[in-house]
A = this chain, B = another copy of it.
């Protein structure tokens, strides 16, 4: 029931192909021949004339509607005719035109994704999850990636609407405050998002926001750390803001003071983490642990610490976030929070399918978990690390 409406007549996960035996038969050969429609004399101007239903019909001496029936396994057709048609389709190298089909069926079997630049592993993982899940439901993915400033999101939304996508998945933190985007997503085709949408009204897939920050902070506090530095992601982003807020709350829960001097923006990037760490240690003393809001920045943090001759975790513990593939082999291997990026992508597709099925589904919250490795240890006896 998670399947796209127009898929419903077919077995799940079969997409559009393979479901109908006849179709499976002819398409294997057909696919090898793109425009070998030699029997197709009508060649409108320049472009490759690709075989159409009519061409198949002509070759099989039937009307093209009958061909349509056979190739879609719909109405009843005489076995002999059916056979002729299938052979004709194979011979001619017929490949159905999804555009025309969509025009008629009012469903493009296509899903639009608007994503933050995915050079970084984490959005890429979500995208991989989306694409895989979509594919398994027989949906194609149209990809639009945003420039860092997140402007022209509205333009891409429009393109997706023009292409009549059946649904939209947003993975664009840069657009989370854009009211116009919010309006469009509420008024346009069904949508779900991996990040907040201004004005709400769009189903969300998130990873336990509280735990994501609370787990690592509690871990550090349990190890005896009292002055915990924070290297944040872009501070405009809700997720970064929220994680920092949770950091404050957990500190408060344990009766620890909040010191704004301990918080620095690392902008999600390796170099940002590196620079933020130096700034942090230059101006604040007594830091024995650093909470880094993603693993990429943590790589920079480890490097900066190393440059300063501080050992990890001896002098300073480090906790990351994401469980990026490199986290397992940094020096030392990074204690971090495992985030379910690929799962979130897949969940988003399923949620979108529910949304398309006209219900107004509930948000999905995915669990996160700690991965304990070697970058964290008890706070050093002397409470002030040398820095």
**A contact set with B: CB distance below 8 Å:** 17, 27, 31-36, 44, 47-48, 50, 95-100, 102-103, 106-108, 110, 113, 117-121, 124-125, 127-128, 131-132, 135, 140-145, 154-159, 161-164, 180, 183-184, 187-189, 269-271, 273-274, 296, 299-300, 302-303, 306, 325-326, 328-331, 333, 342
| Nearest residue, chain B, Cβ from A112 | B140
When A and B form their complex, which 8 residue pairs have the shortest distance between CB atoms, in order from nearest?
A303-B329, A34-B188, A98-B162, A124-B124, A143-B143, A98-B163, A34-B187, A31-B158
Interface centre among A32, A120, A188, A329 (most CB of B within 10 A): A329
| CB of A280, distance to nearest CB on chain B (Å) | 16
**Complex contact B333–A95 (CB within 8 A):** no
Could you say which of B17, B156, B164, B329 contacts A99, with CB atoms under 8 Å apart? B164
| Nearest residue, chain B, Cβ from A152 | B135
User: Which residues does chain B contribute within 8 Å of A128, judged by CB atoms?
Assistant: 117-119, 145
**Complex contact A144–B155 (CB within 8 A):** no
**Complex contact A271–B329 (CB within 8 A):** yes
Could you say which of B98, B102, B119, B162 contacts A95, with CB atoms under 8 Å apart? B162
* Distance in angstroms between the alpha carbons of A106 and B99 in the assembled complex: 10
Could you say which of B32, B47, B99, B300 contacts A163, with CB atoms under 8 Å apart? B99
| CB of A118, distance to nearest CB on chain B (Å) | 6
Known: A162-B95, A270-B328. A33 touches B124 (CB 8 A): no
| CB of A374, distance to nearest CB on chain B (Å) | 10
**Complex contact A299–B127 (CB within 8 A):** no
Known: A187-B32, A274-B329, A330-B303. A145 touches B163 (CB 8 A): no
User: A296-B326, A303-B331 provided; 4 other pairs, C-beta below 8 A?
Assistant: A32-B187, A98-B162, A98-B164, A99-B164
**Complex contact B131–A124 (CB within 8 A):** no
User: Which residues does chain B contribute within 8 Å of A33, judged by CB atoms?
Assistant: 187
User: Which residues does chain B contribute within 8 Å of A120, judged by CB atoms?
Assistant: 121, 325
| CB of A156, distance to nearest CB on chain B (Å) | 8
* Distance in angstroms between the alpha carbons of A96 and B102 in the assembled complex: 15
**Complex contact B184–A299 (CB within 8 A):** no
| CB of A360, distance to nearest CB on chain B (Å) | 15
**Complex contact A32–B144 (CB within 8 A):** no
| CB of A96, distance to nearest CB on chain B (Å) | 6
| CB of A46, distance to nearest CB on chain B (Å) | 8
| CB of A347, distance to nearest CB on chain B (Å) | 17
* Distance in angstroms between the alpha carbons of A270 and B325 in the assembled complex: 7
User: Which residues does chain B contribute within 8 Å of A35, judged by CB atoms?
Assistant: 187
**Complex contact B143–A187 (CB within 8 A):** no
**Complex contact A143–B158 (CB within 8 A):** no
| CB of A169, distance to nearest CB on chain B (Å) | 12
* Distance in angstroms between the alpha carbons of A189 and B48 in the assembled complex: 9
Could you say which of B132, B154, B270 contacts A145, with CB atoms under 8 Å apart? B132
**Complex contact B154–A31 (CB within 8 A):** yes
**Complex contact B157–A31 (CB within 8 A):** yes
User: Which residues does chain B contribute within 8 Å of A270, judged by CB atoms?
Assistant: 325-326, 328-329
* Distance in angstroms between the alpha carbons of A302 and B95 in the assembled complex: 51
Known: A158-B95, A270-B329. A143 touches B141 (CB 8 A): yes
Could you say which of B124, B300, B325 contacts A296, with CB atoms under 8 Å apart? B325
* Distance in angstroms between the alpha carbons of A131 and B131 in the assembled complex: 15
Known: A98-B162, A270-B329. A135 touches B144 (CB 8 A): yes
